Each structure stands twice: as C-alpha cells, then as structure tokens.
Amino acid sequence: MKLEELARPAVLTQPVYEPGRPIEDVARELGLDPKGIVKLASNENAFGPSPLAAGAAEKALRHAHLYPDGGTHALRGAIARARGVDPGQIVPGNGSNEIIELLGHVFLGPGDEAVMGTPAFIVYKLVTLLFGAKPVEVPLRNHRHDLGDMAAAVTDKTKLVFLPSPNNPTGTANDAGEITRFARDLPEHAVLVFDEAYAEYLDEPPDLRPLLEEGRPVVCLRTFSKIYGLAAFRLGYAWTTLEMAQLLNRVRQPFNVNAIGQAAAIAALEDREFLETCRAGNRAGLRQWEEGLKALELEWVPSEANFLLVRVGDGAEVFRRMQEAGVIVRPLAPYGLPEHVRVTIGRAGENQRALEALAAMLNKVLPS
C-alpha cells in the first residue's frame, strides 16, 4: 500500500511554502563564497539581533539541559507590559506562523471559510487549506487591502478574517480608524486576525486594545523575527482576549517556544535604543532604494515596512541573475506577481550591491 493512500486528502493537494533561499544553498549551487552573498529575501532585520538579546541568549545557553518554562511566565509578563494588557492575554508561539496554525486548529474545518487579501502573506492560505477549509481571496486594490471588499466577502461560513498591516509582500498599511470600523462591523462568528509582523516600522501602529476590551473576537499577531532581529529563534505571539488565549493554549504543544528564544525576546523588548537604530536605518535604506529605483526607471510600491515590491518585468529571471551576482531577493510567482520581486531593505552597502546588480542587468548606470 502506498503511504499516500493513508494520508488525509488535504495533505496530498497541500501547496508547499517556498522560503527565501538560504545563503549557504546559493553558495553551494553557484560555487560562490557565502561571505560575499547578500540575502535580501526574507524580511529579516539587516542590522542583526539586539546586542542585549544576543547576550541574554548566550547566558541562557548554560541552562540548555532544562526544559523551557512551558507557561512562558517571564516572557508573557514582559510582552504584557509592552502591550498594556494582562499576561493571560498573551500566547507565545514558535514564530507567529505557529499562532496562525493554532488558529486553524481552533477554528477551521471542512465547510468553513477564511477571508484573506491577495496577494498577502501566503501562510494564511496554506493553513486554511491544511484544515480542509476554503480560502476566500479578495484582490487588493492599488496593492492595498480594501476593507469594503473584505467585508463583502464575509459569509455565514466565515470563521477567520486575516488582515496584515503592513501587508507582505506589498508593504502597504491600513489605518487604525478604518481597521477599527471594519472589526466592529464584522459578524460575531468571524474572528479578525490582525497580523502586525511589521508594526514596529510604523510611526504609530494601530492599537486594537479597545476592541479587545469590548470582548470582540480579535487576535493580534506580533513577531520577534522582523525588527527585533531574532528570526532564528522562531518567536512570535498573539495578544488577544483572555477567552481567545485560553482556546489557543488548549491546542499548543507544552514547550512550543524554546528557552533561549524566550530569554532573548525579553531582553530585546528592553532594548529601545536598538529598535530606534533599526527604524532609522530602515528609513534611510528605503530612501536609498527609492532613489536607486528612480534612477533605474523601475516602479515600486511605496512601503511602510522593511521591504519593497519592485516591478522588474520577468521576476524569475531577475531573481536568477541577481543570485548569480551574489544577491538573493524573493521571486513572487507564488504570490501571483510574476513581474515583481520583493527586496528586503538591507544595510547601505548591501542595498548598493543589489542596486548595482539590477543596474548591470538593465545596462544602466547608477548616479554616484
């Protein structure tokens, strides 16, 4: 008997997530020195982890023989203080990706629907399909979520509504007022999943606490993988109502977040100075890219995050040729954007390398 015959049918048709290519892979394939490769493909923090977080992680290594605190008390306390809510309202996850999966465990099954924009973070769709539910994809307008269109897509079967702001891969955001109105108008059976993976790049991220205080079914997701520079530890969290947190806790594994990451994340939350340095560095990098792209006469979508969606023509070809030049970007055919690539904002030198690779490909010269 073939193993496939034993698998759940949804598994056999499940699309597979394609991550940004790791430096080592590209180096091996193309015979390049990994030290010379620039990775601008996964929206990581180009400025590294906070030194305080790295120090805390090193210290925690000495206790690597012990299981982590499965109740994440210290971490939840630190996050709760940062968010101004009760620690019981915080559910840490193995990346915010895991929380998206936990939401699937709690809410999705055959016959259910999840509303999401397209293009938006692809994991919403993958998780929805994995649980046998139906993704209802609402095309963005001008690369931005149209909340009227999203509301119109909600039916009696809708269980989850995903709204990322800023959105990946477009970098566009919706404002607090429209999000709050949208959330208040949703029917009670539709849980709003407000994905704030890039919130720290906004000057004033929307604060949905009033909705949580009203007891609305809202789950906000944050991550330590982006501005906090801790992607390797896989740490994200939900901040939500107490009732929702209790449901999510029922379906998570006992030790879903590791001890080293917990220690690093607590320290990262305290390192305000590092956060500000990264925000400023990102703003400067965005300006550098915008000027470069203007000179190269390429179109891009104005971004409120740490990446840019750039229209290059043949995205797969540009991805391939930039890779040969030692720069990894993200091709976007899986997001239905074959003419675009997504570039993460890097350090000044990395941005320059990437822009020069693009210029060489287009037979253009960047102004010095």
Residues that bind ligand PLP (CB under 6 A): 43, 95-97, 121, 164, 168, 195, 197, 223, 225, 231, 236
Specify the pairing of strand 299-301 against strand 113-118.
unpaired
Is 232 or 359 the residue whose CB approaches ligand PLP more closely?
A: 232
Given the complex with ligand PLP, which of 97 and 174 has the nearer CB atom?
Answer: 97
Q: How far is the CB of 136 from ligand PLP (least distance, A)?
A: 18
Residue 180 structure tokens: 């709050």
- Whether the ω angle into residue 110 lies within 30 degrees of 0, i.e. cis, is no
**Minimum distance between the CB of residue 15 and ligand PLP, rounded to whole angstroms?**
16
Strands, sheet with 307-311, edge to edge from the N-terminal-most edge strand: 299-301, 307-311, 340-344, 330-331
We find the least distance from the C-beta atom of residue 4 to ligand PLP, in angstroms, to be 28
Give least dist CB 121 to ligand PLP, A: 4
The total of other beta-carbon atoms located within 10 Å of residue 11's CB is 11
Residues 47, 49, 52, 57, Cα dihedral to 10°: -160
CA-closest candidate to residue 325, choices 290, 361, 295: 361
Q: Of 92 and 315, which has the nearer Cβ to ligand PLP? A: 92
Least distance from ligand PLP to the Cβ atom of residue 295, Å: 28
Give the residue closest to ligand PLP by C-beta.
Answer: 95
The position carrying tokens 């109740």 is 71
For residue 232 the two structure tokens come to 């390797």
Alpha helices in 84-185 (DSSP H): 96-107, 123-130, 147-152, 176-185
Q: In terms of CB distance, is 97 or 172 closer to ligand PLP?
A: 97
Residue closer to ligand PLP, measured from CB, 95 or 281: 95
Rounded to a whole number of angstroms, the minimum distance from the CB of residue 132 to ligand PLP is 22
CB nearer to ligand PLP: pick between 42 and 288:
42
String of DSSP letters for 247-298: HHHHHS-TT-S-HHHHHHHHHHHH-HHHHHHHHHHHHHHHHHHHHHHHHTT-
Residue 356 beta carbon to ligand PLP: minimum distance, rounded to whole angstroms? 26
Query: 183 or 292, CB closer to ligand PLP?
Result: 183
